[in-house]
A and B are shown apart, each in its own frame.
Chain A
Amino acid sequence: MSVTTATKKLPKRKGPVRPLFDGSEWSFDLIRKAYDAMGEIALGELGLDIYPNQIEVITAEQMLDAYSSIGMPLMYRHWSFGKRFAHDEAYYKRGMRTLAYELVINSDPCISYVMEENSMTMQALVLAHAAYGHNHFFKNNYQFQMWTQPDHIIDYLSFAKNYVAECEERYGHDTVEGVLDAAHALMNQGVSRDLRPRPRNIAKLEREKAARRRAHEEATYDDIYRTLPEITRETTVEASQAQGEQRRLGLPEENLLYFLEKNAPKLDDWQRELLRIVRLLSQYFYPQRQTKMMNEGCATFVHYEILNRMYERGMLTDGTMLEFLHSHSSVIFQPAFNDRRFSGINPYALGFAMMNDIKRMCTEPTDEDREWFPGIAGNGDPLATLREAWAHYRDESFVLQFLSPKLIRDLRLFAVADEAKDPAMRVASIHDEQGYRDLRRRLSRHYDVAAQDPDLQITDADLSGSRRLVITHHVRNGILLDKVEAERTLQYLAKLWGYRVKLVETENNGGRVLKEHEALPMP
């Protein structure tokens, strides 16, 4: 059973039929022609704003290659990419998985890979989806603007690749592999979630502050105070020293890789550089994780709009349109929770449905929409509204802002609460008047990457004495770390830090300690 709302009905024509292409064979010429025709619609009518495009035609094997290097055209060498390749290849060869029709890279110019096996219809779909849809999103969404430098990424990857290769040559495969393994284990903790100024030169600041204080004391010197008894400050001095140390290290610090890169006592410069490479990559991909649903929704919405408008104008044949609608509806297919094929909410489906819903609310609002979304209901300009949403939201805030009661009903969403200790789960809310807000809040939290990742922070590092590093896991909702995985990862962390590492899991807000793990670096 599925809850998809797509139709496979052909839209109405509005002009004479003069198709751009017919049949399934594609050629470079046709691709260019289709691209230009789409450009008029995408840039002119939809008002998209894109990076220049570079379309690259590749084979299935090259697509597998690209998969294994997390979709980047260049990547340093590491066995884990070989593992991923072997894995994907095995699945692909057994026919258990089909490859994506395209792959798009957030770079300037925006590179889209398209497969040579695609039919011309698919190439058109892919162009509209990637070269216009994703491209617009990459260029305009605030997350990408804030965190990525698309014009530098290819150069940086090329640097990273050469640097790792050089290190392998100079220090040996095994040592380099060891550092990268450890860095990869901490990759999810290699992200700075918010921009904040890091104290650059604390020592200097402290000196200046001390000088100011001395100047003030001298200016307000009064001999009479000398006669007052001195306050004994022995205990507080020590505490403040420790505090100063903490402040100097910038603790607490959520970006584990950053902290290790800057402060791990035993690492060589090249090892720090490797950590930096992994950390920057992790940071580069962070916006993608936060906007997966919107990004796909935006691209799907754009390709649907473009191809429909092309059809209306007679640029596409009926056959092409039917083939397109078939692919489109399988992309946005959403099986119900009790379906064998169910594997979570399909980001394409939800994204596309929400954006279509926004379009509907802008043009044909109901009373309910007017009550829930007074800002946009009936404003008559769906594209401007969507462009605004694409630019200023991420998945979490997008759901929280725009998920409408109608869509909740259409998808028949319901929430289930699961206590690990109970034998049964409980239905917490369903698609009714009482449940809308609750469902929306819960769903938006699922898209909050920061809330889904464990909240780990370095809280204490003793650089002068035992050199022990303490990491605190602020446990949310009583969910502890997976013990085995945590201990293995901690081992890697200890390897980078070089001394004893302790992981404390505490109740949120510094409550009681729930669990402790420790690791020593292997000799």
Chain B
Amino acid sequence: MQVVDRRLNPKSKSLGNRQRFLRRAKAEIREAIKDSLKSRKVSEAEGSEKVTIRSKSLREPSFSLGRNTGSRDYVLPGNEEYKVGDEIPKPQGGGGGRGSQGVNDGEGQDEFTFTLTKEEFLDLFFDDLKLPNLVKVKLKDLKAPKVARAGFTMDGSPARLNHARTMRKSLGRRIALRRPSQAEIDQLMAELAAAEAETPVDDAKVTALRAKLEHKQRLRRGIAYIDPIDLQYNRFERVPKPTTQAVMFCLMDASASMTEPLKDLAKRFFMLLHVFLSRYYREVHIVFIRHTSTAAEVDEETFFRSTDTGGTVISSALDEMLKVVRDRYSPSDWNIYAAQASDGDNFHDDMPRCLELLDEEILPVCQYFAYIETAHGERFNDTVETPVWHGYTEVAQRRRNFAMRRVASPEDIFPVFHDLFSANGVTA
């Protein structure tokens, strides 16, 4: 008998199967995720996701006997009062072991629930989305090179000599060239000494041993223990290190006209953006700026919870954002993203100033600026142009890193988001 401890074997042996399974059910899983997003709390944004799918593509049919034809019998344990000939009414729906009648329209509602890990969830969730404006990011990369291992080379400084590899090559070469080992020579010498000590001395044997020893020693001298061709040095290369930090500005109108549902819409959008950016950058800072007629940087709680009274001056928020950028987030070190949510109201006189700020100062330093206009269902109508929408349309046409969309209900968030970041380029 043999006892083997398999507990330390590599985990997730069935990972390959799981990948195949997810690939198979991809379309349905994404549908399910979208559905679940509608009812989801913002704070659960990054958790793992329980998904229930109606598995059309996961069916495994086989020839099986139908339930509602023919005659059959059952043998059951635990009889108490039945006598031969007694009649038992058929159970409605599922009856233990006696064959469920009725539920057999064939279109089996084979629902299937399982849990996706966070990574799988995000992969599927953001499947065909990409960061916009990647060119700029790449240019930035060059600024922060990093030294990384890059294989081995034949020459280099002694400090970088890789002993293990060098000795491995040396050993291989010595074996290939049949370099005699010290042990062999020692043994020959011992044999020789023994032969010489013998009486009478067997001359032929001694001569042969001597010649052999001579030959081996010559080989040993001729074939170096470590040859220059054995030497292996660690090689390092400077690779551009991606800038792995981003800052995300959330701008929101906090005036009374932004009702709770409208804020919730905005919040969902910000949440998605945050999760999305987290996938690409190691560090994502968020700056919340809310504004009425004046703007201020606030914490998340205040940002989403409290309302203020007052008018609406968007340029105040843009000013504030620029101030924060100047103070803390130099565009040369940070990837800057901004998302603005508003119900589309603004003081009419403020629009020219907004556009000017956007055009000349904000958009040049931003990777991407998204404007989301939230609207009540009844107001959601493309023919009604709010002042902001009207003003921004022109910018959107000119600038590639500016996009705007309208959102009326939670279901719209994902499609809009998807639309903004779809892999085939940003269009606005």
Task: Please report A residues at the B interface, Cβ cutoff 8 Å.
Answer: 1-3, 28, 31-32, 35-36, 52-59, 61-62, 64-65, 68-69, 77-83, 85-87, 89-90, 93, 109, 113, 116, 131, 173, 177, 181, 184-189, 334-340, 342-345, 411-420, 423-432, 434-435, 439, 442-443, 446, 454, 456, 473, 475-486, 488-489, 492
Contacts and interface: CB of A to CB of B under 8 A. Distances in A.
B107 to A, nearest CB: 7
A418 B4 contact: no
Contacts of A419: 71
B4 A56 contact: yes
Given A78-B17, A343-B96, A430-B83, A418 B78 contact: no
A456 B78 contact: no
Contact of B63 (A53, A69, A485): A485
A53 B82 CA distance: 48
Interface string B58-71: 11111111111111
Interface in B271-330: none
10 cross-chain pairs, A with B, having the tightest CB-CB distances, nearest first: A336-B78, A82-B21, A484-B106, A478-B70, A479-B70, A82-B17, A86-B114, A488-B61, A337-B76, A79-B20
B379 interface: no
A485 B61 contact: yes
B96 A340 contact: yes
Nearest to B4: A56
Given A81-B17, A425-B87, A481-B65, A55 B4 contact: yes
A454 B69 CA distance: 13
Contacts, number: 267
B114 A483 contact: no
A185 B6 contact: no
B78 A85 contact: no
A489 B85 contact: no
Given A412-B78, A439-B75, 18 more contacts: A53-B1, A53-B2, A54-B4, A56-B6, A58-B6, A65-B14, A87-B112, A187-B62, A335-B78, A338-B96, A411-B78, A412-B77, A424-B87, A425-B88, A430-B82, A478-B70, A481-B63, A486-B64
A443 B63 contact: no
B77 A31 contact: no
Contacts of B385: none
A57 B6 CA distance: 5
Contact of A54 (B2, B62, B69, B112): B2
B393 interface: no
A365 to B, nearest CB: 24
B61 A62 contact: no
A180 to B, nearest CB: 10
B381 interface: no
Contact of A414 (B19, B20, B21, B79): B79
Contacts of B24: 79, 177
Nearest to B112: A87
Interface in B347-377: none
17 contacts: A3-B78, A53-B1, A57-B3, A80-B58, A85-B21, A90-B115, A185-B62, A335-B78, A336-B77, A340-B96, A430-B84, A477-B70, A479-B70, A479-B71, A481-B63, A481-B65, A492-B61
A418 B95 CA distance: 13
Nearest to B61: A488
Question: Interface size bucket, B side?
Answer: 35 or more
B127 to A, nearest CB: 17
B103 to A, nearest CB: 12
B158 interface: no
A456 B76 CA distance: 28
B114 to A, nearest CB: 4
A427 B88 contact: yes
B73 A90 contact: no
A446 B75 contact: yes
A420 B17 contact: no
A55 B1 contact: yes
Nearest to A36: B1
A68 B20 CA distance: 13
A1 B70 contact: no
B5 interface: yes
